[in-house]
A and B are shown apart, each in its own frame.
Chain A
Amino acid sequence: MVVYSLYILNKAAGLIYQRDFNEGLKRLSSNDYLVLSGTFHAVYAIASQISPVPSSSGIEVLETETFRLQCFQTLTGTKFLLISEPRQQNTDAILRRIYELYADYVIKNPFYQIEMPVRCDLFDRHLATFIKGIP
């Protein structure tokens, strides 16, 4: 089961972290990544507007033929997007674990500025180990 990539968006729809783990999706330029994150943030907001039922969240899962995109929005407005194979299981649990790693190695890092791009070595390393270890 393959995880393709991870995106982290801050409250203002800015892309603060992007990492590809496996081949499988098209190669994109860094501009493309920024556009993608901005578009997704907007679509997430509109999706909760067009809901026929009150107080819906935004898009949580998006399924296509070649990939599956799971989004987890924290209480602070940070979004974690995980793009994986369509048959990947437990994407929920994976995202929560990534959130834990983010809280431990990014937020608790005293030199990290909130809402700025993530440049934390420990986070990268633990993330890589975790993703490699997924069955």
Chain B
Amino acid sequence: MTIYSFWIFDRHCNCIYHKDYKRPYRQLRPRSEFGSQGANDEKKQTNGGGPPTGKGPLSVDDDAKLVFGVVFSLRNIVTKLAGEKESFFVYRTSKYKLHFYETQTNMRFVMITDLKVDGIRPILEQIHAGLYVEYVIKNPISPVEHVNGVRVNNELFNLGLDRFLRPLSIFD
């Protein structure tokens, strides 16, 4: 049971948090000044180039846009088919599963895991209620609206998330 990555998008469609746990295949494009460690760096950067070229490595920003696009379009499809209140829980491909949870405030939590993982919705709800609300929303210093690429830079949230997720999954 492996978690590949975890994303949080706010209601303005910005990626405000991103964490990679395991990326066996996709190396990130090296960042200009900070070297090529890439994966867990949360600073948002503009990578000089244009749109991603299909086969090459993608930067975190492009990845975030693709993930958000997929999630947003699927939500639209589900709304068309089933009604306004509905949303999807999870989709599965041949190699991974994407789990989705949207709160009443339009915060979107996305987790990409391998196929063996099931029933992760309560975990996403718990991350929102027990970690995000407690450490980020209730923090008087953190911004209310994450504009201009400002992300969730909250140490307690990072630690709490790690402590919460590591016992649940297997890391290499």
Q: A interface vs B, CB < 8 Å?
A: 25-26, 28, 32, 35-36, 39-40, 42-43, 46-67, 83
Q: Is the CB of B70 within 8 A of A50?
A: yes
In the complex, chain B residues whose CB is within 8 Å of the CB of A62: 74, 78, 88, 90-92
Q: How far is the CB of A89 from chain B (nearest CB, A)?
A: 16
In the complex, chain A residues whose CB is within 8 Å of the CB of B82: 25-26, 64-67
Residue in contact with A64 in the complex, picked from B63, B66, B78, B95, CB distance below 8 Å = B78
Q: Is the CB of B73 within 8 A of A42?
A: yes
In the complex, chain B residues whose CB is within 8 Å of the CB of A48: 93
Residue of chain A at shortest CB distance from B112: A52
Taking A26-B81, A47-B70, A50-B67 as contacts, is the C-beta distance between A57 and B94 under 8 angstroms?
Answer: yes
Residue in contact with A49 in the complex, picked from B66, B73, B78, B94, CB distance below 8 Å = B66
Which of B9-17, B19-27, B130-138 touches A? B19-27
Q: Is the CB of A39 within 8 A of B69?
A: no
Q: How far is the CB of B159 from chain A (nearest CB, A)?
A: 24
Known: A43-B73, A49-B66, A50-B70. 19 other contacts (CB 8 A): A25-B81, A36-B77, A36-B80, A39-B73, A40-B77, A43-B74, A46-B70, A47-B70, A50-B63, A50-B66, A52-B22, A52-B25, A52-B26, A53-B25, A57-B93, A60-B91, A62-B91, A62-B92, A63-B90
Q: How far is the CB of B70 from chain A (nearest CB, A)?
A: 5
Q: B interface vs A, CB < 8 Å?
A: 4-5, 22-26, 54, 63, 66-67, 69-70, 73-74, 76-78, 80-83, 86-96, 98, 112, 114
Q: Is the CB of A51 within 8 A of B93?
A: yes
In the complex, chain B residues whose CB is within 8 Å of the CB of A66: 82-83, 86
Q: Is the CB of B81 within 8 A of A39?
A: no
19 pairs of residues in contact across A and B, judged by CB atoms under 8 Å: A25-B82, A26-B83, A28-B81, A36-B80, A39-B77, A43-B74, A46-B66, A49-B54, A52-B96, A52-B112, A53-B95, A53-B96, A54-B95, A58-B93, A62-B91, A62-B92, A64-B82, A64-B89, A66-B86
Bound-state Cα–Cα, A134 to B82, Å: 23
Among A49, A55, A58: residue with most chain B CB under 10 A? A49
In the complex, chain B residues whose CB is within 8 Å of the CB of A59: 91-93
